[in-house]
Structure 1
């Protein structure tokens, strides 16, 4: 299980807009900072994609929801580029 942590100071949505290019209009992205614990000494800063008007995730521990993965053209498991969902880690009994 991949552990993702959101700290209190990261309970906010960050907005960025790409520039229009050729025939493609500008696009707005909504993101939130989080930290992935991947087994190293320190967690790695990551960006969680959010939908427009989606509130920021609250501080806490999360993991990726199973809908955040797809099977690629070669039959391998792959993380979706967009539409990832995180869910709270349930407290151990």
Structure 2
């Protein structure tokens, strides 16, 4: 199972402005840092795309939500390029 971890220092959303192309206006995307545990000694830093106005994910361990996977044109399973959603691995009671 793929584990994605958000550390307390990364519970914040950071905007990034993408310049417009071909006369289109610039757009702002919102991101949050997280870390993917891919089997190596250390997790790999990654960016979670956050919808405008969405609060940041809380510190904790997550896994991709089932809606974040697609079957590609060759029948292989892959993560969506956009719209990755994560869900908590452990729920505090």
Shift of the alpha carbon at 1:73?
1.2
List runs of 5+ in structure 1 lacking aligned partners. Answer: none
Counterparts of 1:38-77 in structure 2 under 5 Å?
Answer: 38-77=38-77
What SS is found at the alignment partner of 1:40?
Answer: coil
The 10-residue stretch of structure 1 (1-10 or 82-91) with the greater mean CA deviation from structure 2: 82-91
> Deviation digits for residues 27-78 of structure 1, max 9, x if unmatched?
2111100001100000000000111100000000100001011111111111
Counterparts of 1:1-93 in structure 2 under 5 Å?
Answer: 1-90=1-90
What SS is found at the alignment partner of 2:9?
Answer: helix
After TM superposition, the score normalised by the length of structure 1 is 0.92
What SS is found at the alignment partner of 1:73?
Answer: coil
Matched residues, number:
91
List runs of 5+ in structure 2 lacking aligned partners. Answer: none
Please tell me the root mean square deviation across aligned C-alpha atoms, in Å.
1.0
Moved over 4 A (4+): none
After TM superposition, the score normalised by the length of structure 2 is 0.92
